[in-house]
Amino acid sequence: MEYEYTRKNYFKEADEQERKAIFDYAEGYKQFLFTSKTERGACATAVELCRERGYRSYMFGDKIKAGDKLYFVNRDKNIFIIRIGTNDVEKCGIKIMAAHVDSPRLDLKPNPLYEDGGLAFFKTHYYGGIKKYQWPTIPLALEGVVVLRGGKRVSVNVGDDEGDPIFYITDLLPHLSQEQNELKLGKAISGESLNAIVGAMPDGAEEKEGVKAAVLKLLHDKYGITEIDFQTSELCFVPAGKPRDVGFDRALISAYGHDDKVCAYPEMTALFEGDGKDTVMAIFADKEETGSQGVTGMQSRVILDLMDSVSRALGADPILVRYNSKCISADVCAAFDPEYASVYEKRNSSYINCGASVTKYHGARGKASTNDASAEMVGYVRDALEDNGVIYQTGELGKIDIGGGGTVAMYIADLGIDTLDMGVPVLSMHAPYEIISKADLYSMHKAMLAFVNKH
């Protein structure tokens, strides 16, 4: 009998075969992540993976039956993958896993293009919580869509293919930074200064035209767009490049957008691999980083309509289905960082390699603005994890009075659904390149699978 609780290191617990499984799983994730930098990218990639496995598109009102494999794409930015189980959905409810697939980045302003000092720039308005000083002098890719007159959509994706150009925000040379160095970290780089270079060559054929005109001409040649079309576009700069292994032992992965694709991917693979008994729904939500508002965010009615529609199609009472449903709000948490130990409370932090972390509550200032899961709900998930030998841990975000944060958990709990936060610990969260552990990633997959298969 073990009386004392100690956190376990998953790599220490894993035998050779398990370590191989951990590393193999990470390769699939890295591939998924590279094409899922934005919510649109993540949805498109998920649709591809669903179709490969025989899933079909669902629309409200469609007829469905046990065993059906479905996905519902909400405006290309939010996807619900649904696997109809053989168990009575009224009695067993729906097993929901909700992650988000939007990540902090630099969106283009509606009128982004200007010329100054012989250079052409795009002006940006950052999306989500960023530390602005981290974005200058790194390679950026441009991604998104432009909607032309009449509704035709043009996709843009420049900077991630080998041989593509990248985009770049400058910073001041140290020789002239005396004044800048005196500024506070949060003030040294302003939002309005996050403008990326997009061109530097005036049009040679018509000498009087500058760089801006030359860039517009290039854009028209390649995409058929003119300057006003930016006003009907969603374009953003994201860090360029592929996920990379970190360290001599390759235990960690550095990449853009782990928050929260590192939870979205495991909930999807768990749904695919589940036993098919309970009805399962994996959600890739949009807009979490700006508060979950809007038609593709988790505060939208779409989830409610979808659950109602599916329930009715199965001849079940939607109210009972909802009441008996359970949800894992699958979102990342802060990993303990020994370089910044003072902001963490050591006994209640999440540690790299110690597995996916259960977070009973987030919030700030005395648990404000959070879902605080019940002991019963935490107990339910604990049983699922321990019955399946999942290495997991429990943590809080950081010290009580230092700050805080939130997830989509409270919006789902507000629908009357028992919800618990759980996710992969991240180092340098919200930085252009974040770090996670392959062991924690695989632990998340096993945790979600244990949740899906608990009856």
Residue type, 389: G
Give the pair of three-digit tokens for residue 110: 């509606």
Does position 331 bind Mn ion by CB under 5 A? yes
Does position 267 bind Mn ion by CB under 5 A? no
Task: CB nearer to Mn ion: give 93 or 104.
Answer: 104
Does position 440 bind Mn ion by CB under 5 A? no
Binding piece for Mn ion, criterion CB under 5 A, among 159-167, 254-262, 295-303, 436-444 = 254-262
Does position 308 bind Mn ion by CB under 5 A? no
Angle formed by the axes of helices 16-34 and 258-273, to 10°? 120
Residue 416 Rama label (left phi>0; alpha psi -120 to 50; beta):
left
Binding piece for Mn ion, criterion CB under 5 A, among 180-188, 293-301, 302-310, 325-333 = 325-333
Binding piece for Mn ion, criterion CB under 5 A, among 39-47, 113-121, 307-315, 331-339 = 331-339
Does position 102 bind Mn ion by CB under 5 A? no
Under DSSP, the state recorded for 148 is P
Looking at the DSSP bridge assignments, the partners of residue 421 are 329, 359
Alpha carbons 257 and 239: distance in angstroms, whole number: 9
CB of residue 128 vs Mn ion: minimum separation in angstroms?
6
Task: CB nearer to Mn ion: give 260 or 421.
Answer: 260
CB of residue 367 vs Mn ion: minimum separation in angstroms?
18
Task: CB nearer to Mn ion: give 288 or 308.
Answer: 288
Identified binder of Mn ion from the candidate list 160, 259, 286, 421, rule CB under 5 A: 259
CB of residue 192 vs Mn ion: minimum separation in angstroms?
23
Alpha carbons 157 and 189: distance in angstroms, whole number: 27
Alpha-carbon radius of gyration of the chain: 23
Task: CB nearer to Mn ion: give 259 or 421.
Answer: 259
Looking at the DSSP bridge assignments, the partners of residue 280 are 83, 95
CB of residue 423 vs Mn ion: minimum separation in angstroms?
8
Binding piece for Mn ion, criterion CB under 5 A, among 187-195, 207-215, 329-337, 359-367 = 329-337
Binding piece for Mn ion, criterion CB under 5 A, among 31-39, 230-238, 256-264, 412-420 = 256-264
Binding piece for Mn ion, criterion CB under 5 A, among 58-66, 271-279, 297-305, 324-332 = 324-332
Under DSSP, the state recorded for 87 is S
Looking at the DSSP bridge assignments, the partners of residue 279 are 94
Identified binder of Mn ion from the candidate list 260, 278, 286, 421, rule CB under 5 A: 260
Task: CB nearer to Mn ion: give 68 or 440.
Answer: 440
Alpha carbons 178 and 318: distance in angstroms, whole number: 63
Q: Which segments of 96-151 does DSSP mark as H helices, in order?
A: none
Number of residues in contact with Mn ion, rule: CB under 5 A?
Answer: 3
**Cβ-count burial of 342 within 10 angstroms (0-12 exposed, 13-18 middle, 19+ buried)?**
exposed
Nearest of 415, 416, 397, 394 to residue 406 by alpha carbon: 397
For residues 209 and 203, the answer to whether their CB atoms sit within 8 Å is yes
Residues within the interface to Mn ion (CB under 5 A): 259-260, 331
